[in-house]
């Protein structure tokens, strides 16, 4: 039996940024892989290189050292089959919410079909924005705009979904609901997910595996498989293992911060 290649693979990846005053070593030597359709959450202190990890995977950034492979090929430029949700949604301010969601297809093919518009409306409904299709981004709250960004990232039904603290602008309840909605979408249309978060509970609740990064320069210091049953829901928060995982990760992060 041949083993299928990992969807995402980092081998000895280092990233050094040049700044006006010198250099910043964001990542030291990252070795990690994410399997096809696996949901991996990444935790780590602020500034440890989590967003850098995501930008390297997206092909928006080239590593200073080592290689980043996607589907077995070194990534050198952005790909259509990767959807990205950034910390801030960066919507087109003059375009309606629906036009923002269909933007990827307009950008790619220059035209938008009736089917595309239906897909966009269904996605907007999934992220609880039904009725806001014709509004402008400025008319929506920050959290609502972030949900538009999520719908836009899902629009092309990408194989890989990269999410950089996608729910940080949402209130606690919406955040939890969006997490479960994301899991439903992921279970319905499986995808390989790299999910960056500062919330230990969110990482454990959503992911198959949690990677913990050290303080800068970042390396992976923990690789924790989460054996909570799926589908996950509100009940999962009360699962005994949930407390064990959260406790373990919390003490790891606290110990490293001390």
Ligand X SMILES: Nc1ncnc2c1ncn2[C@@H]1O[C@H](COP(=O)(O)OP(=O)(O)OP(=O)(O)O)[C@@H](O)[C@H]1O
Which residues would be at the binding site for ligand X (CB under 6 A)?
A: 17, 19, 24, 26, 44, 46-52, 216
Kindly report the number of other CB atoms within 10 A of residue 80's CB atom: 11
Tell me how far, at minimum, the Cβ of 165 lies from ligand X, in Å: 7
* Tokens describing residue 142: 């920050």
C-beta of 40 vs 105, nearer to ligand X: 40
Burial status of residue 63 (CB atoms within 10 A of its CB: 0-12, 13-18, 19 or more): buried
C-beta of 17 vs 94, nearer to ligand X: 17
Of 95, 63, 68, 96, give the one whose Cα is nearest residue 82. 68
Tell me how far, at minimum, the Cβ of 47 lies from ligand X, in Å: 4
Using DSSP's 3-state secondary structure scheme, residue 86 falls into coil
Tell me how far, at minimum, the Cβ of 212 lies from ligand X, in Å: 12
C-beta of 156 vs 252, nearer to ligand X: 252
Tell me how far, at minimum, the Cβ of 6 lies from ligand X, in Å: 22
| Residue that the structure tokens 């913990």 belong to | 212
Using DSSP's 3-state secondary structure scheme, residue 47 falls into coil
Tell me how far, at minimum, the Cβ of 121 lies from ligand X, in Å: 32
- How does DSSP classify residue 6? P
C-beta of 21 vs 238, nearer to ligand X: 21
- Contact of 102 with 46, CB cutoff 8 Å: no
C-beta of 239 vs 256, nearer to ligand X: 256
Of 92, 11, 88, 96, give the one whose Cα is nearest residue 56. 11
Kindly report the number of other CB atoms within 10 A of residue 13's CB atom: 25
Cα 215 to Cα 26: distance, rounded to the nearest angstrom: 9
Tell me how far, at minimum, the Cβ of 142 lies from ligand X, in Å: 16
CB neighbours of 198 closer than 8 A, spacing ≥ 6? Answer: 43, 46, 165, 168
C-beta of 137 vs 218, nearer to ligand X: 218
Tell me how far, at minimum, the Cβ of 50 lies from ligand X, in Å: 4
C-beta of 54 vs 242, nearer to ligand X: 54
- Omega of the bond prior to 136 within 30 degrees of 0, cis? no
């Amino acid at each position: 039996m041949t083993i299928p290649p990992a969807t995402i693979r980092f081998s000895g990846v280092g990233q050094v940024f040049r700044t006006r005053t010198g250099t910043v070593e964001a990542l030291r030597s990252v070795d990690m892989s994410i399997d096809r359709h696996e949901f991996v959450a990444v935790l780590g202190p602020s500034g440890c290189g989590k967003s850098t990890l995501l930008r390297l995977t997206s092909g928006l950034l080239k590593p200073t050292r080592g290689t980043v492979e996607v589907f077995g090929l070194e990534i050198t430029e952005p790909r259509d089959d990767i959807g990205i949700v950034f910390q801030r949604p960066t919507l087109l301010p003059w375009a309606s919410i629906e036009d923002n969601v269909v933007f990827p297809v307009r950008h790619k093919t220059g035209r938008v079909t009736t089917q595309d518009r239906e897909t966009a409306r269904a996605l907007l409904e999934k992220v609880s924005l039904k009725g806001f299709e014709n509004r402008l981004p400025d008319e929506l709250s920050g959290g609502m705009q972030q949900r538009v960004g999520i719908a836009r990232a899902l629009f092309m039904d990408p194989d890989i979904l990269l999410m950089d603290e996608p729910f940080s602008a949402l209130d606690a309840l919406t955040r939890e609901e969006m997490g479960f909605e994301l899991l439903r979408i992921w279970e319905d249309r499986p995808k390989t997910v790299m999910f960056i978060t500062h919330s230990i509970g969110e990482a454990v609740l959503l992911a198959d595996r949690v990677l913990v990064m050290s303080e800068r320069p970042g390396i992976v210091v923990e690789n924790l498989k989460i054996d909570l049953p799926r589908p996950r829901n509100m009940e999962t928060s009360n699962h005994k293992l949930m407390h064990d995982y959260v406790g373990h990760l919390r003490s790891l992060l606290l110990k490293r911060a001390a």
